[in-house]
Structures are given as C-alpha cells and as structure tokens.
Amino acid sequence: MFEIEVDCPHCAEKVEKAVSEVSGISNASVDFETQTMHIEVDDSIRGRYPEVLAAVSEAASAAEPDFKLSDVTERVADERARRHVFDIGACSPECADRAEAAVNELDEVEDARTDGARRRMYVTLRSEFDGIGGDVLEKVAETAVDAADGFSMKEIEDDGADPECPALPPKGAPAKHDGHGHEHGHEHEDSCACSCGAHHEHAAVDEHENTGSVQHTFVIDVDCPNCAMKVENAIAAMDEVESVRIDFVGKRMRLRLKPEFEKDYPMIIGKVEETARGAEDEFSMKETVPGKRPAEEEEEEGGKGMMPLRIAAAAVFIAFGIWLEYIDDYSLTHDSAVLAIIFGAGLAVIGYDVIIGGIRNLLKAGFLDEKFLMTVATVGALAVSCLDPDSDYWTESVAVMAFYQIGEYFEDRAVSRSRSNVKALMALKAPFATVVEDGKAVRKDPEEVAPGSELIIAPGEMVPIDCIVIKGESYADTKAMTGESVPRRIGPGDELLSGYIVTESAVSVRTVRRYEDSAAAKVLNLIEESSARKSSSEKFITRFARWYTPAVVGCALAIAAGGALLTDDPSGWVIKALIFLVVSCPCALVVSVPLTYFCGIGRASRENILIKGSSYIEMLAKTDRAVFDKTGTLTEGVFGVTAVRPAEGFSAEEIADAAACAESYSSHPIGRSIVSYAGGGIDPSRISDSKNLPGLGVSALVDGRAVYVGSRGLMAAEGIAVPDEQDSGGADVCIAIDGKYAGRIEISDSLKEDAASAVAELHAMGIESFMFTGDRERTAEHVAVELGMDGYSAELLPQDKTRRLEEVMAGTRGRTCFVGDGINDSPSLARADTGIAMGGIGSDSAVEAADAVIMDDRPSKVAEAIRISRKTQRIVAENIAMALAVKFAILILTPTTDLVTMWVAIFGDVGVLILAVCNSVRALGFGKKARGRGAAASA
C-alpha cells in the first residue's frame, strides 16, 4: 500500500490506469478519498521491489506531474526495526503483567507487550533512543526484573513472529499503543505456561496461523465454572500444549498443540483427555465435526434430566423426617439414629453425585471446589445433629444440598437457554449445497465444496457459500446478513453472500470462496470466538475466585478450632464454620459475569452488530467520543445529482441532457452520476468529437452544438464567464453551450437516511461526535453542520487521520471509538480504543481490523452497540455488587452474631446464584422495544 497526493478524482483515475499498464502489475487501485494506492504484482517480479517501485513512480508521474508517492511499508519496517525481543522464561502471568507495566512506564519505550504462549516480551523503543542500543536495553531488563521477583529477561534474535501485539503494528497500520493512559482495545485470553489461569492482554495470537499451530475445537461437558478452570489449568501445564481456552458458557474448548507434537495428535489428545479427567472426573470432550451438530448438544444428560425427580424425593424424606421429629414427638436423645437414617437417605438421594465427587477430590491437590465444600457442609451438619443432642440441623443438612442442586439445575437451564437463544440468532449455515457434477445435482456439505463449483439454489433455500449468479433471475432475502427488509433483485453477475435466502425462482451460481472464507462462516466464527476475549471484569472474577475460596475455608477452620478450644459450645461454632463453607463458593460471580457478556453479544447480533468479545463491550460502554469517517460511513459513497441550476435562457432539462450526452463516454464517477440522472438511453448519433480534458472536464458536439462540462477552470480556459453563486457544499459541474454559460449541476455524496438520527442519538447519550474526511473543507463543513457534528477535520490523508484521532483521544478521559468502512480506515480502526467497521462483513480487512462489525451499514447502529454495551456492563456491575455484598455480609455477621442461620447461608450461595443468573439473562431481552416503552413512559 502507498500513500499518495493527487489533486482530483480524474487525476486519480489517470494514475490508476497508468500504473495498471506497468509490466508485472496485475492490479492497481487508487482511492482518491483516502489518498491511497494498492498494487498487486505478478509472481514473475516478486523480490524485485526497488524496480517495481521505480516503475510505478515513473508511470504515475508521467500521467500526473504533481503526483506524489510514499510507501507506508517503509514506516512500518522502521517500527519493526526498533523492536527487541526477550525470552522471559516460565513466569507467572502476574509477574509478566507487573514487568510489562513497569517497562511501559520508561520514557525510552514506545510500547512493551508480553506473550505468555511464546514466553516472549516484545519491546519497541522510541526512535530517538533506539540508536543508543545496549544501555537502554539493559535499563529495560533491570526495570522488569526489579518490578517482579523471579522474573528473568534475556534478549534473543527476533524470531519474526507476528503476534499482532501493539508492540508490533498490524501490517499497514500504526502501533495500537497507549500513549495517554487509555487501555488497549485488543485483548485475548491465553493460558500462561505457569498454568495459574491468569491472562495477558494482547491481540489474538490464535487467530493467525503464523505460529504454525492448528486450533482444535471440542464440545465439552463440565459441571461448573470452577471445574472448567481446573481443567484449563491442568491442560495448560502440559508440555505438548501451546494454548488452551475453555468457554464454560459456550461449552467449547479450543486447543493448540505445539507444532512438533501435531504428528502425534491422536496420542496427545488422549493424554489431554486423561489430564482433564485427572483434574475433573466427570469431564468429557468430543472434537467438533464440520457440518454436524455434536450429540452432546442434541440430548440432555440423563443425570440432569432426573434432577426434578431427585429433588422431589429429597423433599419427601425431609417432610417425613420433620413429621417424625416434631409431629410424632420422637425424642432426639433416643431416636437420633432413626432421623440420621431418614435424613441421610435424603442426602444420598439428592447429593450422591456431589458427595462422590467431593470424596474423589480429597485425593487431589486442588480439592477446594464446591463439591468438596458442600459435602463437608452437609455431612458435617448431619454429624453435628447426631453427636450433639442439643443441636437440631437435620433439615438443614439435606436442604443445603437440595438447594445447591436446585441452583445448579436452574443455572444449567439458564445457560442452556441463553446458548440456544444466541445460536438461534446465528442460523446462517445452510444444511447442504446442491452441486452440479457431470450434469447431475448432488447434495454435499458446504464445507466439502471447492471454489469454482456450480451450484443450484432453489426457492426458499439458503445460499451455502459466497457465489456469483451465472444463470437465472430471482430475489434474495438478505435480512439475516444485512438487515435489509426489502428483498434484493438478483441476476447474472450479481454476488450472493452465504446466509442470503433465494426466493421466487431457482438460480445457478458459481462459488467464489470456500465455506470457511464465506461471509456466514465469518459471522459464526466471530460469535463462536467472542466469549474467549475476556473483559477485565471477567479476569477480576477469575483472580478473585482463586483466592476467595481458600481464604474463606481457612477462616472456617479457624472458627471451628477456636470455638472448640475457647468456648463451651463447640458444635455451635462448627455450624458457624459450616456456614462459611456454604458461602465460600463464588459460583454466582463465576457463572453470571461471562453469561451476561455472552447474552449481550447475542443481543447485539440480533441487531446485526457483531462484537468480537466482552473486552470490547466493556470498552464501548465507556465510550464518550465517536469519530466517523465520512465517505461510505455517514454518506452513501455514491455520487448523485442534488440540483440543476440553469442560467437565464436555458432550462434544467436542456442542460442536464447536454451534460449527459457530453459525459456519456466518461468513466468518471461524477460523469456517470450525470448520465444516470438523465435516465440513460442516449442516442450515440447525437454525439461527435467527444474529448476528455484532463483535470478540467469533457467537451463534445451534441446535436451540432459545442458543449463543455467541467470545473470553473475549464470555463476560464475557454474564456466563458461564470457568475458568482452560493457554494452548494458539494461538487459543482459547470455547463457551457456554444460558448455561453448555461448553468451548473450540483453533485454530492448523499447522506445515509439515518446519519442525522445516529448523531442525535449519540448526543442524547452524552457522546461527542466528530467527522474525519479527505474531502475539501467546504464539503466537510456542509456535511458536519447538516448532521450537527461537534467537530470535523477535512483534507486528511490516512496518516493524518490517525494523528488527528490520537489528538481527539487525548482530549477525553473516557474512550473513543472510530467508525469507518473497514477497508481504507484500517490504521484508525486499529488505533482507536474501539474500531467499528460499517457494512464490511464481506471484507477480510473489516473483520480483521475492527473490534465490532455493523453488518447492515446503518450509522444508527453505533449508538445501539454502545447502548447494549452499557446495559450489559450495568448488569455485570449489579451481579458483582449483589453477590459480594451478600457474601461479605454473611461472612462478617456469622462469627459476630447469632443472626445467620444455615438457611441464610443457603440464600447467600444458591439464592444469589439464581438471582444473578436470572439478571444475566436480561441482557438478551432489552433493545428497541424496551427503549420504545421507556420513551412512551417518559412522554
């Protein structure tokens, strides 16, 4: 990619044509709006870069003398040359985070980023310090070691790996470093070599194949979030594993083996499964089969399906025990054995699986999970009731387990419902593709169809793979992919994206991509992977859970021992200790927080907004400034005639017809818009002596009359006086007929229908709006005023947009999002706190550069994305506050008062879990209807 300077669209067109004719250039594309040029070279001249650059520059300058060219890859190469790579060994994530933060504080460092999977730290020095060399690097190493005990750094040769970290700028984009205190926008969770489960923030390593490893995806069955965490840590500790991520809500495990172990894949996977079951006995995994839904998702597990019957049976035992104890006046002194048998049977019925799991966990190092804790709490309450005649905790001993199982059951149902609701929004994969082979129609899985295959798509069928229509005409329902409610007419040459539905009549098509590269697959993959990019809230919960349970268990042991040694009521203090154990499980937080983000991402998907992860929901919720690119984002990106202003003695129809005839041979966008406005159907016999006047316009004889169409400069060159008129804010095309000024046609890029309402919605939410454009000042001002923008910047080159964006970001303590078309705005999309690509799901660059993608190309969806993110973040905060407040209140009141009973502890664990999960599911339901009710209420 090259940055260019060219004066007008016509000049850009000439340069593009000239460069395309250079030997060895297979394709050249010049974008006047963004002042960039992209070229593709043939294999025959690859490696002869200087020669190619010289030839391109010479051809472009010959076509347009004022043309200027600069290669942005030189700037990126300079930034890469300033990168230094260090081996940091097998450190813990916490140590790596502290070291990274300390190094980033150094004035000499532009950016530092650790990569736990590769055990590397990438340090990019500022250009003015890079030449100093060893002294600065020694200071970097000393700073890192001082910040984290046991941390080690050794500079190594750059391995050429491209982890897409901010320390290593994306190709063609500046580094996404944080020079003014903003958090990094791109985050990704990856297990560290130390297996502690903590994570680093960096760009998604596993989305790129530069490591040489292959991602394997498994459907898993695991009982609880804590169990999932234990399994993930155990697998991450294996020497053969490069990275592993377990998504409890999505029931997925994504595993990457180190490349050298891929050849032994079956054996290694068996070892992985053995390791996982060593950490959690009931864990199961099955690798996903392309195009097939795993059986684990089609059938509900038998144990969970029997849970209502087990709960009912336990209720019967509890009721019978209470009747024996109180109604029939059994004496606890003489008949406690009978009660022990009845309540013990009830405990076995409702909690046998938990008790067995708790006993098994006693044999493992990591036994402090909810199964063990619930086993100790319930069996302990039963034992106290048996051994102490003055105690009466028979009912509680079974009720604690029963309510725990009820909570687990409802948690599982809520998570399953949320998962099903989100997947219902993503029903974009066609079940089959009808392929024409040897004249016969054969049904195949879309993933088995090669590019270039001929398909037949019948009415009502979904387009399975991105393709081009080669025969037949019909209509396509594009709502699932673009949000458009009106079916689109299709015919030969039209492109169809996978996920469209053909209506009315069948069409023959030819595939242009593989299924995995098609639009629908990208959408599904985005949502499938989204729960893996964790927010800081989720990471906090992970760290909190790691110390919370052991700390509470330690307090419980201290309370039990202290009560036994220092008081005359040891059983009472044992019960207090058991209450501590009941509330020691952090499941309400560990489940509800990721579930809320999962539902929020699903809700956004329903609005045709794809958010790549919970980290970006968190960032969008903090947004207080939105920066828009103009062309293609706020405007349609297509020139159109907005007005025809005839001079005295001429009619609007006359000058429009004359201009259209003169422009009929032009390929310029402005010329095409004039021809389109006139309705086409121009008789070529009316036109002669048509000429293209570079940089000025066109001329022709139309019906024997000399017609000139172009700029004021063309009029001046022909000696034709043009009256001073009010500027339209767009492009004014002057027309002269037979040497006399005949009038002007106003051309502009029309605003999108909802552009103004989008800006108004953002303002109503307290978000400032800015517009960046490479267009001229007066056009930018006209659009900004019409939309009510808070500010704008015009005549910007791509590098200027990034610099100006950084200035806008520096002026706020909140977060800034950049909204662009995802193709020419990649540097700004990457640099902003959150990058949002408009209507770019069919573009690889849109999916890769942006943090969110708006599929239906409507600017108003920016406000919707922020609104959903804020609501989701508010629910997360509610769940965290509620769970922590209730648990800490119980922990404080239990040893200091007699107010807390086992029933209160049950509410503190199971009750809070159910409330938090129900609150989380609310994230699926809010949206436009809710806003409409609110608006009506306020009115």
CA distances from 333 to 93, 318, 388, 391, 471 (A): 56, 19, 9, 11, 90
User: What's the rounded Cα separation, in Å, for the pair 436 and 508?
Assistant: 9
Q: Which of 629, 657, 749, 825 is catalytic?
A: 629
* Backbone region of residue 927 per phi and psi (left: phi > 0; alpha: psi in -120 to 50; beta: other values): left
Q: Which residues pair with 821 in a beta bridge?
A: none
User: What's the rounded Cα separation, in Å, for the pair 593 and 663?
Assistant: 60
- Report yes or no: 325 and 332 within 8 Å, Cβ to Cβ: yes
- Report yes or no: 625 and 768 within 8 Å, Cβ to Cβ: yes
* Residue 121 phi, psi (nearest 5): -120, 130
> Scanning the structure block, which residue is given the tokens 């390929």?
667
DSSP assignment, residue 909? I
First to last CA, the chain: 53
- Report yes or no: 476 and 515 within 8 Å, Cβ to Cβ: no
Query: What is the token pair recorded at 746?
Result: 């106003």
Query: What is the token pair recorded at 101?
Result: 């933060």
User: What's the rounded Cα separation, in Å, for the pair 467 and 340?
Assistant: 70
Among the listed residues 241, 410, 324, the one whose alpha carbon sits nearest the alpha carbon of residue 915: 410
Q: Which residues pair with 816 in a beta bridge?
A: 625
Q: Is the dihedral of CA 85, 87, 90, 94 positive or negative?
A: negative
Q: Which residues have a Cβ under 8 Å from the Cβ of 597 and sit 6 or more positions away?
A: 531, 535, 538, 614, 617, 872, 876, 923
- Report yes or no: 882 and 911 within 8 Å, Cβ to Cβ: no
- Report yes or no: 205 and 163 within 8 Å, Cβ to Cβ: yes
- Report yes or no: 572 and 563 within 8 Å, Cβ to Cβ: yes
Query: What is the token pair recorded at 304?
Result: 């969970």
Query: What is the token pair recorded at 348?
Result: 């076995």
User: What's the rounded Cα separation, in Å, for the pair 428 and 439?
Assistant: 28
User: What's the rounded Cα separation, in Å, for the pair 688 and 661?
Assistant: 10
User: What's the rounded Cα separation, in Å, for the pair 715 and 842?
Assistant: 43
Query: What is the token pair recorded at 706?
Result: 């000399």
Q: What are the respective helix, strand and coil percentages of the chain, to the nearest 5?
A: 50, 20, 30
- Report yes or no: 828 and 820 within 8 Å, Cβ to Cβ: yes
Q: Which residues pair with 687 in a beta bridge?
A: 702
CA distances from 631 to 400, 409, 655 (A): 62, 52, 28
Residue type, 564: A
* Residue 2 phi, psi (nearest 5): -125, 145
Query: Any catalytic annotation for residue 629?
Result: yes
Query: How many Cβ atoms from other residues are within 10 Å of residue 158's Cβ?
Result: 14
Burial class (CB in 10 A: 0-12, 13-18, 19+), 365: exposed
| Angle, CA 204 vertex, CA 203 and CA 209 arms, to 5° | 125
Q: Which residues have a Cβ under 8 Å from the Cβ of 639 and sit 6 or more positions away?
A: 669, 670, 672, 673, 731, 747, 748, 749
User: What's the rounded Cα separation, in Å, for the pair 428 and 229?
Assistant: 31
Count each helix (H run) and each strand (E run) in the chain, helices first: 32, 34
Query: Where in the sequence numbering do the catalytic residues fall?
Result: 629
